[in-house]
């Protein structure tokens, strides 16, 4: 099996999306988009748990966004750092 940079990249994205789903952090909207909800902030009152910001992670056509790739990169760095620290 020959792995290209793109196929490895897609594997990391798929693993990231699976992790978000399994953690219960991702929801699918009626139009097919997949989102996570982040708490909105109010600079004077702090975080309002009832006011959440919807962030699209995957478009309805299945394609990812820059934020999805950013999350995948962060998770990979955390995993790599964890392995390096435990070795």
Q: Show me where the domains of the chain are located.
A: 5-86
**Alpha-carbon gap, residue 87 to 67, rounded angstroms:** 30
Distances (CA, A) of 54 to 6, 8, 25, 33, 77: 28, 28, 11, 11, 25
Q: What is the pLDDT of residue 39?
A: 74
What pLDDT is recorded for position 79?
A: 81
pLDDT at 44: 56
38 touches 51 (CB < 8 A): no
pTM, entire model: 0.66
State whether the Cα torsion 79-53-34-66 is positive or negative: negative
Q: Which residues of the chain have pLDDT under 50?
A: 1-5
SS3 2: coil
pLDDT of residue 8: 57
């Amino acid at each position: 099996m020959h792995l290209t940079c793109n196929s490895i990249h897609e594997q990391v994205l798929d693993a990231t999306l699976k992790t978000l789903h399994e953690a219960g952090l991702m929801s699918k909207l009626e139009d097919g988009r997949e989102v996570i909800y982040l708490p909105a902030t109010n600079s004077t009152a702090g975080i309002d748990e009832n006011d959440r910001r919807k962030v699209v992670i995957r478009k309805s056509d299945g394609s990812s966004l820059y934020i999805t790739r950013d999350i995948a990169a962060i998770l990979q760095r955390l995993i790599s750092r964890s392995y390096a620290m435990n070795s």
